[in-house]
Structure 1
Amino acid sequence: MISITSAELNYLVFRYLHESGFTHSAFAFGYEGGINKSAIDGNLVPPGALVRFVQKGIQYLELEADLSSTSGDMDDDFSFLQPLDLITKDPYELQKIIKAKKENMQKDRFEENGKHHNEYNQENEREHAQETEKEKKGREKEQEQDKERIEKDREREKGKDKEKAQQDHFNREKCEDKVITEYEENGTFGGTEPMDISTSSTSLPCDISSCDVTILEGHTSEVFACAWSPSGSLLASGSGDSSARIWTIVDGPSSSSAQNGSANVVVLKHFRGRTNEKSKDVTTLDWSGDGTLLATGSYDGQARIWSRDGELRSTLNKHKGPIFSLKWNKKGDYLLSGSVDKTAIVWDIKTGEWKQQFEFHSGPTLDVDWRNNLSFATCSTDSTINVCKVGENRPIKTFSGHQGEVNAIKWDPTGSLLASCSDDYTAKIWSMKQDKYLHDLKEHIKEIYTIRWSPTGPGTNNPNQQLLLASASFDSTIKLWDVELGRLISSLNGHRDPVYSVAFSPNGEYLASGSMDKCMHIWSVKEAKIVKTYTGNGGIFEVCWNKEGDKVAACFANNIVCVLDFRM
């Protein structure tokens, strides 16, 4: 990988976005020690997207020759934008920002010029002298009214703070009373009271009480991924601190916090030295079907296999770039990985060696998903999807139809339908029986980051419920789709910032969502509204349910993992 400075990389980022009309869903970010640092003015983004952007920037660098030799001609427009603007503003808003700041700069230059400065002051004095006494009084009256409004606002804020403090005190007392009552009546702290679901569309969401939240502390950087083991009460998390952790979550009501030194966590270090190595940040992880092994993928391009006790079983080293996604097949004898090096690799777990490398994409491989124990799908920044099979030297199917990066792919529970989502604002549903998509789902107005199938319909534990697809977008909404008819069922509008993760409960009745607005919502799928909500102190990268459906985990940008009790 070519070595470039942060200034050069930022210029690459700007030039790429500028020349493509600011329409791409990539990110601007800092660069530390040659390794990407996933922080944008305190707002964190998933590592996969960052590495994707680095790769594109380097491709642009190679086409434009040596950037350093032309750095004196850099476009000044970049200096008017903050990195966060490139994520949160559309092209029209960015153009307005640049125009406004240019006008302000011209005004400042005008004022700095001696002659113009005097003319400017003289004009102001003339205008001031021409003001009537009535206008002065009018301004004074407006100032008095402004003071009165400010004072009233302060009084209202004081009242709100007092009311909030009283409510918090009441909630704490209620929480303590509930736990004590349950213990006295049942001899245990385990509560099974049904959740209150409001039937009014105008009712406020129900905040999850602090006594129903366990905060897992110990990571020293943003937590990008989390996943429950399919067996037992183990929760894995992967972080930018170059480590993964396996937490043992006790049954029953949550405790307030679990510190780093507790005996309920095993730390899986991806570095050997005393200090963390940023190149080994954990980007993705996945449990084997029987819950005995955990696979982690890292920026260093290596996949690692761990026992549930934290023992490193094997290191899988063949990729030449960061790993974006890892998936076990159902049988548990193969592990599939996708990387920025444009390839996917199937690993033989028994031998600890690679079985086959698939080099069919012209851009980074963003996501992979098994169809069955031998065949799988891959998607890429090259806008295509390949369906491959172990032992075959060419894709058995290639789907082309997206007009932008394909960010995620998922097979339905039976392996008959494949869903995909893209930067082109659409999700699509494909069948192996035809080349063109079955349905083109177009209701989102910004990039779609991820998708999930409901655990319902034929071949699932909930065969009598309708099969649904959920899509989560940078437009802050989640949409539920009828996959048989290819139409929108409902739009879940409760977040204020991009939604990075969604997950259905095991019974398919609820959907959890996590967003950069720091909120995790739990929605009733049938009623299409929020029934529970939790607000943390950082953006949320991933949410997941345990197999029983009574706990939801969420990982945050402020280095913590939360486990929420959810009693239905």
Structure 2
Amino acid sequence: MKNLFLLFALWGTASLLGQKPVLVVPIGHTKDISSVAFSPNGKSILTGSHDNTAILWNLERREIKRFEEHSEPVTSVAFSPNGQFILTGSPDRTAILWDLEGQIIKRFEGHSGPVWSVAFSPNGQFILTGSGDGTAILWDLEGQKIKTFEGHSELVWSVAFSPNGQFILTGSFDGTAILWDLEGQKIKTFEGHSEQVWSVAFSPNGQFILTGSFDGTAILWDLEGQKIKTFEGHS
């Protein structure tokens, strides 16, 4: 409806100015954007939307390629470290690996719930998915499961690799984050939020982690699970 209104507005303005009306064909997403990412070289961006698509753009806001295959919203997007591939995750319970031409390289199917988060390993050889089934799964690029990480009591909303690729971090609606090794062993559980953990990240040197929560705070931790600082300020 907004696009239709814009079209009529442009038509009316052109008529008032005595100009020939120009047909404007809207491009882009038609629903909310739920996830964004920069390409490694900073020259492109990737957006995932509730219209079930992802779009690759250049910085002049021109659409380069549209990725259409998911049957439900695209809730997470990521670029491979070399910038040659993209990864999308969806509540349709799949993640999809694509080349930049929009061709599907591999579909990752194995979760029994929505895929809420996706990430590439730093070397680009593995991917990580977090799901509404309460697990995270490590995969190779051929779509084979390497390890399933089970330990949260509610859905996994956010996942991340450590900078050296030797550890992963998961954030959950159970209010905790968990640090794991690649064998699926828990290294440390981070407990301190009073609500769901929505976002997790490693520091660039891998010595600290950061968690963001529905309780309105972010917490900086060391790898031993000690709170370094709580960031409060959001209302």
> With structure 1 as the length reference, what TM-score do the two structures score?
0.35
Matching of residues 363-442 of structure 1 within 5 Å: 363-371=154-162, 372-392=164-184, 394-432=185-223, 434-441=224-231
Write out the 4+ residue segments of structure 1 that deviate beyond 4 Å after TM superposition. none
Within 2, Cα distance between the matches of 1:224 and 1:314? 22
Asked if residue 269 in structure 1 is aligned to residue 100 in structure 2, the reply is no
Structure 2 equivalent of residue 170 of structure 1: none
Shift of 1:424: 2.6
1:267-299 per-residue CA deviation (whole Å, 9 max, x = no partner) reads 21115xxxxx4xx21111000111011000011
Q: What's the secondary structure of 2:124's corresponding residue?
A: coil
Runs (5+) with no aligned partner, structure 1: 1-215, 259-263, 272-276, 445-472, 476-568
Whole-angstrom CA distance in 2 between matches of 1:346 and 1:308: 23
The 1:426–1:224 alpha-carbon spacing in structure 2 relative to 1, beyond 3 Å, is: closer
Provide closer, same or farther for how the CA distance between residues 427 and 225 of structure 1 changes in structure 2, counting only shifts above 3 A.
closer
Amino acid at match of 1:241: D
Cα deviation for residue 232 of structure 1 reads: 6.7
Give the number of equivalent residue pairs: 210
The answer on 1:341 being equivalent to 2:133 is yes
For 2:27, the equivalent position in structure 1 comes to 217
Give the aligned partner of residue 233 of structure 1. 43
Residues in 2 aligned to 1:339 and 1:439: alpha-carbon distance in whole angstroms: 28
Q: CA deviation digits over 1:321-340, x for unaligned, max 9?
A: 11111111110011111111
Q: Distance in 2 between matches of 1:246 and 1:438?
A: 38
* Distance in 2 separating the partners of 1:299 and 1:231: 29
Partners of 2:152 and 2:178 in 1: CA distance: 8
Report deviation, 1:318.
0.6
Pairing of 1:249-288 with structure 2 (within 5 A) = 249=59, 254=60, 258=62, 264-271=63-70, 277=71, 280-288=72-80
Pairs within 5 Å for 1:108-507: 217-231=27-41, 233-249=43-59, 254=60, 258=62, 264-271=63-70, 277=71, 280-349=72-141, 351-371=142-162, 372-392=164-184, 394-432=185-223, 434-441=224-231, 443-444=232-233, 473=234, 475=235
Structure having the higher strand fraction is: 2
Q: Secondary structure at the match of 1:430?
A: strand
Distance 1:368 1:227 in 2: 15
Change in Cα spacing, 1:423 to 1:334, as seen in structure 2 (3 Å) is same
Q: Report Cα offsets for 1:352-374 as digits up to 9, x if no partner.
A: 21211111100111111111312
Identity of aligned residues (%): 30
Post-superposition shift, 1:218?
2.9
Where does residue 522 of structure 1 map in the other structure? none
1:228–1:435 Cα change, 3 Å: closer
Looking at structure 1, the residues matched to 36 and 217 of structure 2 have their Cα atoms a distance apart, in angstroms, of 26
Q: CA 1:292 to 1:425, structure 2 compared with 1: closer, same or farther past 3 Å?
A: same
1:415-473 Cα distance to aligned partner (Å, 9 max, x none)? 101111222332211112x33322233x32xxxxxxxxxxxxxxxxxxxxxxxxxxxx4
Q: CA deviation at 1:398?
A: 1.2
Local SS of the residue matching 2:51: coil
In the alignment, the residues of structure 1 paired with residue 212 and residue 147 of structure 2 have an alpha-carbon distance, to the nearest angstrom, of 26
RMSD of aligned residue pairs (Cα, Å): 2.0
Instruction: Give ranges in structure 2 of 5+ residues lacking alignment.
Output: 1-25
Q: Report Cα offsets for 1:203-231 as digits up to 9, x if no partner.
A: xxxxxxxxxxxxx8232222222222113
The residue aligned with 1:169 is none
- Partners of 2:217 and 2:191 lie apart in 1 by 13
CA distance in 2, matches of 1:382, 1:359: 13
Using the TM superposition, give the Cα deviation of residue 346 of structure 1 relative to its aligned residue in structure 2, in angstroms: 0.7
1:17-96 paired onto structure 2 within 5 Å: none
| Alignment TM-score, normalising by the size of structure 2 | 0.82
Structure 1 Cα separation of the partners of residues 86 and 226 of structure 2: 36
Cα deviation digits, residues 457-510 of structure 1 (max 9, x gap): xxxxxxxxxxxxxxxx4x2xxxxxxxxxxxxxxxxxxxxxxxxxxxxxxxxxxx
Separation of aligned partners in 1, 2:146 and 2:191: 27
State the distance in 2 between where 1:218 and 1:398 align.
40
Tell me how far apart the structure 1 counterparts of residues 192 and 58 of structure 2 sit (CA, whole Å).
44
| Shift in Å, 1:237 | 1.5
Cα separation, partners in 2 of 1:247 and 1:423, compared to 1, 3 Å: closer
Letter in 1 for 2:29: H
- Look up the equivalent residue of 2:171 and give its one-letter code: C
**Per-residue deviation at 1:316?**
0.1
Counting helix residues as a fraction of each chain, which structure ranks higher? 1
Amino acid at match of 1:234: S
Distance 1:236 1:424, change over 3 A: closer
Q: Work out the CA distance in 2 between the residues paired with 1:335 and 1:413.
A: 19
Tell me the amino acid that sits aligned with residue 269 of structure 1.
E
| 8 Å contact kept, 1:401–1:436 | no
> What code does the residue aligned with 2:207 have?
S
Q: Which has the higher contact order (CA 8 A, sep 6+)?
A: 1
State whether residues 246 and 310 of structure 1, in contact with CA within 8 Å, keep that contact through their aligned partners in structure 2: no
C-alpha distance in structure 2 between counterparts of 1:423 and 1:267, whole Å: 32
